[in-house]
Amino acid sequence: MRRSLGRRRVGWDVLTIACHPAHPWVGGAGGPRDRSQPPPPPPTAAEVAATPLLVREEGSGTRDTLERALRRHGLGLTLGMAMASNTALKSAALAGMGPVVLSEVALAGELAAGTLVRVEVPDLPLRRPLTAVWRRDEPLSPGAAALVAVAASLR
């Protein structure tokens, strides 16, 4: 990072892979999962990489985090669709167009409602730091300094 910038990690964000309830990764085969059957095994990083994913645009922190995690396995992203809008990506996933990768905060409503289902991928951790950044030559205002301090204390 540039020396002209101050920074402080204030927390962590977890990315989540979520699918329409009819997706095979959650046990669907054209419809919701039959609860009398055991759930399918979780996909591997290789299976995720081979699947067209709904992701943020190139250069976004969300996409960079995903691509870095896949590269650690020697894998690359198979792009299903890239958009700059979380809402558009969630709509595409809700329509069954494929798994979506977004912050769990962005997916909280759909996961709670069950309209999208979280897919755990044990060998693909998707965690990224949240960092406050400011110009060193312009001290933080008291309010901004307090916000950074409170955010950092919550992690």
Task: Output the average pLDDT for the chain.
Answer: 91
Q: Where are the domains of the chain?
A: 12-131
CA distance 2 to 19: 38
- Per-residue pLDDT at 37: 73
Which residues, 6+ apart, have CB-to-CB distance to 35 below 8 Å?
none
- Per-residue pLDDT at 31: 53
- Per-residue pLDDT at 152: 82
Domain 12-131 is found in CATH 3.40.190.10: yes
- Per-residue pLDDT at 29: 60
Burial classification of residue 34, based on how many CB atoms lie within 10 Å of its CB (0-12 exposed, 13-18 middle, 19 or more buried): exposed
- Per-residue pLDDT at 117: 96
CA distance 51 to 70: 12
Model's pTM, two decimal places?
0.84
* Whether residue 96 has pLDDT greater than 90: yes
Top-confidence residue, 87 or 9 = 87
- Per-residue pLDDT at 155: 60
How much is the average pLDDT of 20-38? 75
Question: What are the tens digits of pLDDT across the range 32-80?
Answer: 556 677 778 999 999 999 999 999 999 999 999 999 999 999 999 999 9
